[in-house]
Amino acid sequence: MSASMTARAAGIILPAIRRSYAATTTTNEAGDRLVHAKPLANTLTLIPGGTRGIGLAVAKLFASKGSRVVILGRDPDRIQHVLNSELPPITPEANVDHAGFKCDVANREEVEDIVKEVVKIAPVDYLITSAGVAIGSLLVSVKPEDVETTMNINLMGTIWVNKAVVKEMLRQRKGSIVNISSVLGSGGSLGQTIYSASKGGVIAFSKALAKEVGSRGISVNILSPGYTETDMTQGLTEEMRADIIARTSLGRMGQPDEIAEAALFLAQARFVTGQVLTVDGGLAL
């Protein structure tokens, strides 16, 4: 039995996780006008890591703009919560809804199988990759398994999802990809050698991919957030937090919705590709 068949048998791929209530099948003229009035109406946005932090903020923003959102995450209960309680419906009258899949982005075969299921829902217009981990450690003391986990999720996970989605976008001859990196991918930080390497890899990978697929109408850009108020930064000590804020021109840490707004800009920017948009409040100045 193949790995992908094993995943299916275990219930990882199918069915897609959806809202717990039954989807409505009624439509009306007013509802149709409401859907089409939104800027991302009739689009599908795929968001690995869309259950928490920046990814969740992106999912909520894109859903509010009318896009059908498909989130990928590792916790089915969390996915169900986001679908039921966090994402606004596209419109109460529309016979479409958001969906989610349990997915380990570091598992190439699992990613490929899930993307095949996603495109059965609708073609992917926007891919915003937000799945990531941050395990802090000095290089001399970092555990080998932590190196593998960080690189497999942050870098290889981004590569596998991009690879699977780009195959579909090439058939469509259109699409927009925003890979979320970090300011540490350009500048590094004490105790974050492996994380910085993984995020730097995302930047280099995305720039190269932009050159490969631009002629097919596909844009690939990189969003590099600074320190943002998410689960990842909850472990910062008060001293570390004060130091970051002191070095940030705007005098505070970012909010997930502020990063999401930047992701929306890049996703819709029709003549921008291969670029890094740094959203850090002036930390890197």
CA distance 246 to 285: 12
Can you give the C-alpha Rg of the chain in angstroms?
19
Q: Choose the catalytic residue: 21, 126, 195, 227.
A: 195
- Alpha-carbon distance of 156 to 160, in angstroms, equals 6
In terms of Cα–Cα distance, which of 47, 201, 207 is closest to 127?
A: 47
Residue 166: count other Cβ atoms within 10 Å of its Cβ: 21
Cα–Cα distance for residue pair 209/213, rounded to 1 Å? 6
Q: Give the chain's end-to-end CA distance (angstroms, integer).
A: 53
Helices 108-121 and 157-172: angle between axes, nearest 10 degrees: 30
| Among the listed residues 126, 103, 147, 274, the one whose alpha carbon sits nearest the alpha carbon of residue 202 | 274
**Residues 90, 234: Cα–Cα separation, whole Å:** 32
* Distant-in-sequence, close-in-space partners of 234: CB < 8 Å, separation ≥ 6: none
Contacts of residue 178, defined as CB under 8 A and 6 or more positions apart, other chains included, come to: 126, 127, 128, 129, 221, 222, 223, 263, 266, 267
Active site annotation includes 227: no
Which tokens in the block code for residue 150?
């960080």
Cα–Cα distance list, 179 to 22, 80, 132, 221, 285 (Å): 33, 24, 11, 6, 22
Active site residues: 195
